[in-house]
């Protein structure tokens, strides 16, 4: 199917020409039929030489330009109408400026009412007006020769580029209504992607289901681009979706409230204009950046880099500029000179892609997936290498400043070097000698600083004489062995922690189990204490450690037997 919009000044015969070509009168509202004036979008379709053509008929009155833009926004081609009796008129010019700003490149001009006067003047005016646009030198037909117009329409659609059937769906809604027995129905022009009955789509952060599809008056199970389509939705009320909203592939689009855009054919820009894109019309605050601008949208829209729209000044009935989206997540312009630097970048057509982003995020922004792949992420190779160097330096410095710590907390390192997610730390440090374990990053080896090593040696000397006589709190305080220093000695394999403030040698549990095996079973805590030549302060937590490792087994009466467990390797 091919979708073509009409354009042209009011009362130049757009709807009449569509009716003559299709046999269908596009005006659907009673008010339109009563006044003989197109107010809102109309739709009709036909088949010409085996090609299905759908027409979006738009109003030509200046009061309804917003409706006109909602109809032509997603459409790739236009049939532009000029009446021979009046020639080129103000709304002819505004419609042409809008089409040019929207990036429409394929047009057919049809001169109507050519049976009432010589059409040559209107032809020359149209040729001159189109000459300054990207649609220069369009074919021109006469409504008095419908067969010729049909042939030109066939040639027009045959020149259109093939749409992408596999693209993410973003259907700009132009109508929303309720059908009795079916529920909510929305219509729009499907420019890319494919819709299927049963599909789950996203609207305003919620999921809705495609209950049914209709195109050109027929029920369909699948509709591909480019096509006029009516979508029957399950899971949403008609009041919750309307013109300017979208149905889209879930989790594939980024809603953005601020964008940087290139300006085309810009006139004087006011701070407050209306952005027309797709079928949406959203007030925006404009911050000029040379040949570009930053737009702050009154409401977020699902936009991608490369999207085309226009800025309109509705108070003056003029098109202010065509826009092409350059960035959907621009950096803030807070520091001095940032706006000037950004303007220079955008003037060269340059935008800075994220140096680190998830692949799905790049896709949702409309950016190429290029760079160095790291799991689900894509990174700039130079940026990645610089982060690695920073990470190694930061981890080593942190370890030097915290010589008895288990290592730099992973989250602390992530923030210090500017990684967006903790999951990137381990792959970043792969190939370095840093160790990532238990949520921390540390240099290889577990050496103790000299002051702690000397104190631990004193403890080791004492334990060599009495293996189960743990140093008391005063002794540890004299040696300046606090909780961090003891934890470092345990990690280094020099001591074993039995309980808070109680440490023994690294093989204390196994040695204790060997001694306890010589006792008659079952044995009591007091008997174990005497056999180990220790105090109750040490014996009770030591036996609990042995129980946990299944080296001993505690009975209901509090006595114990020796178990069959083994010590894990440490």
The mean pLDDT value for 497-504 works out to 92
The mean pLDDT value for 3-18 works out to 90
Q: Are residues 48 and 112 in the same domain?
A: yes
Domain count across the chain:
5
Q: Is residue 524 a contact partner of residue 536, using CB atoms and an 8 Å limit?
A: no
Burial of 60 (0-12, 13-18, 19+ CB in 10 A): buried
Q: At what angle do helices 381-401 and 410-417 cross, to 10 degrees?
A: 130
pLDDT of 189 strictly over 50 = yes
pLDDT band at 467 (very low <50, low <70, confident <90, very high): very high
Instruction: Give the list of residues 6+ apart from residue 289 with CB closer than 8 angstroms, or none.
Output: 260, 339, 342, 343, 346
pLDDT band at 65 (very low <50, low <70, confident <90, very high): low
Output b/e per residue, 64-90; b: 16+ Cβ within 10 A. Answer: bbebbbbbbbbbbbbbbbbbbbbbbbe
Q: Report the CATH number that the domain containing residue 281 is assigned in CATH.
A: 2.40.30.10
In this predicted model, what pLDDT tens digit does every residue of 365-400 receive, in sequence order?
998 888 999 999 999 999 999 999 999 999 989 888
Give, as one character, the DSSP assignment of residue 269: P
Residue 525: strand, helix, or coil: helix
Q: What pLDDT, on a 0 to 100 scale, did the predictor assign at position 449?
A: 81
Residue count (the chain): 570
Q: How far apart are CA 99 and CA 123, in angstroms?
A: 19
pLDDT of 10 strictly over 90 = no
Q: Is residue 96 a contact partner of residue 9, using CB atoms and an 8 Å limit?
A: no
Q: What pLDDT, on a 0 to 100 scale, did the predictor assign at position 232?
A: 95
Q: Are residues 30 and 85 in the same domain?
A: yes
Q: What pLDDT, on a 0 to 100 scale, did the predictor assign at position 20?
A: 94
Sign of torsion over alpha carbons 44, 45, 48, 51: positive
Q: Are residues 344 and 359 in the same domain?
A: no
pLDDT of 566 strictly over 80 = no
Q: How far apart are CA 332 and CA 517, in angstroms?
A: 71
Q: Is residue 568 part of a domain?
A: no
Q: How far apart are CA 303 and CA 329, in angstroms?
A: 10
Q: What pLDDT, on a 0 to 100 scale, did the predictor assign at position 27?
A: 62
Q: Distance between alpha carbon 321 and the CA centroid of its chain, in Å?
A: 27
Q: What pLDDT, on a 0 to 100 scale, did the predictor assign at position 384?
A: 95
Rg (CA), the chain: 38
pLDDT of 570 strictly over 50 = no
The mean pLDDT value for 268-294 works out to 91
The mean pLDDT value for 146-170 works out to 94
Q: Which of residues 266 and 312 earns the better pLDDT score?
A: 312
Q: Are residues 343 and 218 in the same domain?
A: no
pLDDT of 198 strictly over 70 = yes
* Residue 406 tokens, joined: 């288990």
* Residue 149 tokens, joined: 């117009």
Taking all residues of the chain, what is their mean pLDDT, rounded to a whole number? 89
Q: Are residues 378 and 342 in the same domain?
A: no
pLDDT of 568 strictly over 50 = no
| Nearest residue to 164 via CA among 188, 192, 190 | 192
pLDDT of 417 strictly over 80 = yes
Q: How far apart are CA 502 and CA 513, in angstroms?
A: 18
Sign of torsion over alpha carbons 492, 494, 495, 500: negative
Q: Report the CATH number that the domain containing residue 20 is assigned in CATH.
A: 3.40.50.300
Among residues of the chain, what percentage have pLDDT more than 90?
Answer: 64
Q: What pLDDT, on a 0 to 100 scale, did the predictor assign at position 491?
A: 82
- What residues make up the domain containing 228? 170-248
Q: Are residues 293 and 396 in the same domain?
A: no
Q: Identify the domain boundary among 416, 445, 474.
A: 445
In this predicted model, what pLDDT tens digit does every residue of 67-111 receive, in sequence order?
777 778 788 899 999 999 999 998 899 889 889 988 899 999 999
Cβ atoms within 10 Å, residue 484? 14
**22-26, 94-98, 266-270: the lowest-pLDDT one:** 266-270
pLDDT of 19 strictly over 80 = yes
β-strand partners of 96:
none
Q: Are residues 471 and 396 in the same domain?
A: no
Which residue, chain included where needed, has tokens 């006067």? 117
Residue 432: strand, helix, or coil: coil
Q: Is residue 84 a contact partner of residue 140, using CB atoms and an 8 Å limit?
A: no
pLDDT of 267 strictly over 80 = no
Q: Is residue 312 part of a domain?
A: yes
Q: Are residues 44 and 109 in the same domain?
A: yes
Q: What pLDDT, on a 0 to 100 scale, did the predictor assign at position 461?
A: 92
Q: Are residues 76 and 126 in the same domain?
A: yes
Q: Are residues 358 and 345 in the same domain?
A: no
pLDDT of 288 strictly over 50 = yes
Q: Which of residues 407 and 37 earns the better pLDDT score?
A: 407
Q: With helix as H, strand as E and coil as C, how does 79-119 read?
A: EEEEECCCCCCHHHHHHHHHHHHCCCCEEEEEEECCCCCCC
Cβ atoms within 10 Å, residue 165? 11
pLDDT band at 569 (very low <50, low <70, confident <90, very high): very low
Q: How far apart are CA 4 and CA 42, in angstroms?
A: 12
Q: Is residue 428 a contact partner of residue 419, using CB atoms and an 8 Å limit?
A: yes
pLDDT of 157 strictly over 70 = yes
Q: Is residue 229 part of a domain?
A: yes
Q: Report the CATH number that the domain containing residue 517 is assigned in CATH.
A: 1.10.10.10
Q: Is residue 485 part of a domain?
A: yes
Q: Identify the domain boundary among 112, 134, 158.
A: 158
In this predicted model, what pLDDT tens digit does every residue of 505-514 receive, in sequence order?
999 999 999 9
pLDDT band at 518 (very low <50, low <70, confident <90, very high): very high
Q: Are residues 14 and 135 in the same domain?
A: yes
Q: DSSP string spanning 462-501? A: HHHHSTT----HHHHHHTT--HHHHHHHHHTTS-EEEETT
Q: What pLDDT, on a 0 to 100 scale, did the predictor assign at position 284?
A: 95
Could you give the residue ranges of the DSSP H alpha helices within 322-472?
A: 338-347, 359-365, 381-401, 410-417, 425-429, 450-465
> Could you tell me the maximum CA-CA distance found in the chain, to the nearest angstrom?
125
pLDDT of 60 strictly over 70 = no
pLDDT of 37 strictly over 70 = no
Q: Is residue 567 part of a domain?
A: no
| Nearest residue to 380 via CA among 353, 359, 345, 420 | 353
Q: Is residue 163 part of a domain?
A: no
Q: Identify the domain boundary among 352, 386, 403.
A: 352
Among residues of the chain, what percentage have pLDDT more than 70?
Answer: 95
Q: Is residue 197 part of a domain?
A: yes
Q: Are residues 326 and 379 in the same domain?
A: no
The mean pLDDT value for 300-308 works out to 94
Q: What pLDDT, on a 0 to 100 scale, did the predictor assign at position 224?
A: 94
**44-48, 158-162, 434-438, 549-553: the lowest-pLDDT one:** 434-438
Q: Is residue 569 part of a domain?
A: no
In this predicted model, what pLDDT tens digit does every residue of 320-374 receive, in sequence order?
899 999 999 998 988 888 899 888 888 887 777 889 999 999 999 998 888 999 9
Q: What pLDDT, on a 0 to 100 scale, did the predictor assign at position 39?
A: 58
């Amino acid at each position: 199917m091919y979708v073509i919009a009409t354009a042209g000044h009011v009362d130049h015969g757009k709807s009449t020409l569509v009716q003559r070509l299709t046999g269908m009168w596009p005006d659907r509202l009673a008010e339109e039929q009563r006044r003989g004036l197109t107010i809102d979008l109309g739709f009709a379709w036909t088949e010409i030489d085996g090609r299905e053509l759908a027409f979006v008929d738009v109003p030509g009155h200046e009061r309804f330009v917003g409706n006109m833009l909602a109809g032509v926004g997603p459409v790739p081609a236009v049939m532009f109408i000029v009446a021979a009796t009046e020639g080129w008129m103000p709304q002819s010019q505004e419609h042409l400026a809008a089409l040019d700003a929207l990036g429409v490149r394929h047009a057919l001009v049809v001169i109507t009412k050519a049976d009432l006067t010589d059409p040559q003047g209107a032809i020359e005016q149209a040729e001159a007006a189109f000459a300054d646009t990207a649609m220069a030198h369009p074919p021109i037909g006469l409504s008095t020769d419908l067969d010729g117009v049909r042939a030109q329409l066939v040639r027009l659609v045959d020149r259109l580029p093939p749409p992408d059937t596999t693209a993410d769906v973003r259907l700009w809604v132009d109508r929303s209504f309720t059908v009795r027995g079916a529920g909510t129905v929305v219509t729009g022009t499907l420019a890319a992607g494919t819709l299927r009955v049963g599909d789950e789509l996203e609207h305003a952060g919620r999921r809705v289901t495609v209950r049914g599809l209709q195109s050109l008056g027929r029920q369909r199970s699948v509709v591909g681009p480019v096509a006029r389509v009516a979508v029957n939705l399950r899971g949403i009320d008609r009041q919750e979706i309307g013109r300017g909203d979208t149905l889209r592939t879930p989790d594939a689009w980024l809603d953005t409230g601020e964008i940087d855009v290139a300006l085309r054919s810009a006139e004087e820009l006011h701070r407050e204009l209306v952005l027309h894109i797709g079928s949406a019309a959203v007030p925006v605050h404009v911050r000029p950046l040379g040949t570009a601008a930053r737009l702050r949208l009154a409401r977020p829209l699902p936009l991608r880099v490369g999207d085309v729209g226009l800025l309109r000044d509705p108070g003056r009935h003029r098109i202010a500029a065509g826009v092409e989206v350059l960035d959907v997540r621009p950096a803030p312009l807070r520091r001095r000179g940032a706006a000037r630097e950004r303007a220079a970048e955008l003037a060269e057509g340059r935008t800075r892609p994220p140096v680190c982003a998830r692949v799905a995020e790049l896709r949702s922004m409309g950016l190429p997936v290029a760079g160095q792949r790291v799991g689900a992420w894509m990174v700039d190779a130079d940026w990645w290498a610089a982060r690695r160097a920073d990470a190694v330096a930061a981890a080593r410095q942190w370890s030097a400043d915290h010589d008895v710590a288990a290592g730099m907390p992973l989250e602390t390192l992530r923030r210090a070097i500017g990684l967006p997610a903790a999951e990137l730390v381990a792959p970043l440090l792969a190939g370095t000698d840093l160790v990532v374990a238990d949520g921390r990053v540390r240099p290889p080896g577990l050496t103790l600083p000299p002051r702690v090593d000397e104190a631990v040696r004193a403890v080791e000397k004492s334990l060599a004489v009495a293996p189960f006589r743990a140093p008391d709190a005063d002794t540890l305080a004299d040696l300046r062995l606090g909780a961090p220093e003891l934890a470092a000695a345990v990690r280094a394999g020099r001591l074993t922690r039995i309980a808070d403030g109680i440490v023994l040698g690294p093989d204390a549990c196994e040695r204790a189990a060997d001694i306890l095996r010589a006792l008659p079973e079952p044995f009591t805590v007091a008997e174990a204490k005497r056999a180990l030549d220790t105090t109750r302060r040490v014996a009770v937590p030591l036996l609990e450690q042995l129980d946990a490792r299944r080296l001993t087994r505690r009975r209901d009466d509090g006595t114990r037997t020796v178990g069959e467990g083994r010590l894990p390797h440490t």
